[in-house]
Amino acid sequence: MIRRATSSRATSSRATTSKATHAAARKAARRATRRAGALSVLLAASLALLPSTAAHADGIRAQQWALDAMHTQQAWRTTKGQGITVAVLDTGVDDQHPDLVGNVLAGKDMVGFGAQRGDRAWARHGTAMAGIIAGHGHGVGNGDGVLGIAPEAKILPVRVILEDGDSARTRARNTRGNALAEGIRWATDQGADVINLSLGDDSKSAHPEPAEDAAVQYALKKGAVVVASAGNGGEKGDHISYPAAYPGVIAATAVDQNGTRASFSTRRWYATVSAPGVDVVIADPDDKYYEGWGTSAASAFVSGAVALIKAAHPGLSPAQIKKLLEDTARNAPSGGRDDSRGFGFIDPAAAIEAAGRLKPDSTHAAAYGKKYFGTGPDAAPDDSQPSGWVGPAAGGAGVVLLAASVILWRGRRFSAQDASGDMPL
């Protein structure tokens, strides 16, 4: 499920970050970071990007409504994710971006060809996801740029898919169908604590791949928490999306600033929790900031939250963490859960507090049961009710500023399926 970019312009009055200022920051970042060889690590994710040609870098932080909505300040009183590694299986991560320098480890390229650093079709989606998870900002006191949910966590990039627009993408689909399964196993063996999969296939022909499922179960058994996008098929039939539907995966659905399910967010039985997925400010290798939407962003936010929980309570198993997220989610749907928002909006601060009352559990892979054969999506009216939780927290000013300072770049879904069925959401 990919959102292919198509630009649709909106009014803009200010320059996105002064080119000179950002160039200086980037130059300093390159000096500060030591290149661990040629970047052979990249991740794939799925998000619709909205190019921002306005919004000063120092105004970006105020536009990150998700930070307040997710109660990050409360969670950060305990931890900011230090000591945790989040593997981002995506299109690549720019380790020299000022908001990420020092937080990106040496990774692996499971594709082996395609765009390289400096090409426009390189590492855009993966860099965006990494920033949501572990961006630390830049400038004086790191007050500029994007701040992630777990700014002290490390990113392990694993390239398993190519960007839309990469001329080698079709070749990758046809020849690297096993990249995702291999990437999950490799990241697990490197000691990843969390594996973020902001990608998936929600086409009509989507189906579980034994090798991918086995890799997910391998990761879970080794203690790695696996998080995936629920899918962007909410307006196209709510088809089941993989890897989100594999047993044991924490599937993230998307909501807006009002807590309302995003119309594109897939509704299925595997939905675990909801997270921000609309009007999300993201970093890009081109030295600009963008506004994005998609369940890929929601997955990254959940992965950042899991990193905080793992940092505070390292002995918890993936099953325990998944249950924690379900039990501590805010604004639960009527009845406690639905296919639109899972158990409610993720609350890492509440989960960290509740985790203090748990004892570490032995890890084990999820059992199959009947999880591949759940019921259809909930009725549409159930997800149209706003939760009413963000207005006071995030404030409307940031949203207005963002809307006035970006060039919207919405995308259309990529209907084809690659060899493995994996595509950015």
Q: Which residues are the active-site residues?
A: 90, 125, 296
In the predicted model, what is the mean pLDDT of the chain?
Answer: 80
The residues, ordered by sequence, that sit 6+ positions from 373 with a Cβ below 8 Å of its Cβ are: none
What proportions of the chain, in percent to the nearest 5, are helix, strand and coil? Answer: 30, 20, 50
Length of the chain: 425
Nearest to 163 by CA among 196, 125, 112, 131: 125
pLDDT at 391: 36
Region 138-143: what's the mean pLDDT?
Answer: 94
The two structure tokens encoding residue 125: 């989606």
Q: Which of 27, 278, 41, 34 is nearest to 138 (CA)?
A: 27
Q: What is the CATH number of the domain that holds 351?
A: 3.40.50.200
Q: What is the pTM of this model?
A: 0.79
Which distant-in-sequence residues (6+ apart) come within 8 Å of 392 by Cβ? Answer: none
Domain with 373, as residue range(s), is 2-424
8 Å CB contact between 420 and 180? yes
pLDDT value at 3 more than 70: no
Which of 109, 104, 135 minimizes the C-alpha distance to 122?
109
Q: Is the pLDDT of residue 168 over 70?
A: yes
pLDDT band at 263 (very low <50, low <70, confident <90, very high): very high
Domain total in the chain: 1
Q: How far is CA 238 from CA 124, 269, 278, 345, 425, in A?
A: 26, 11, 18, 20, 13
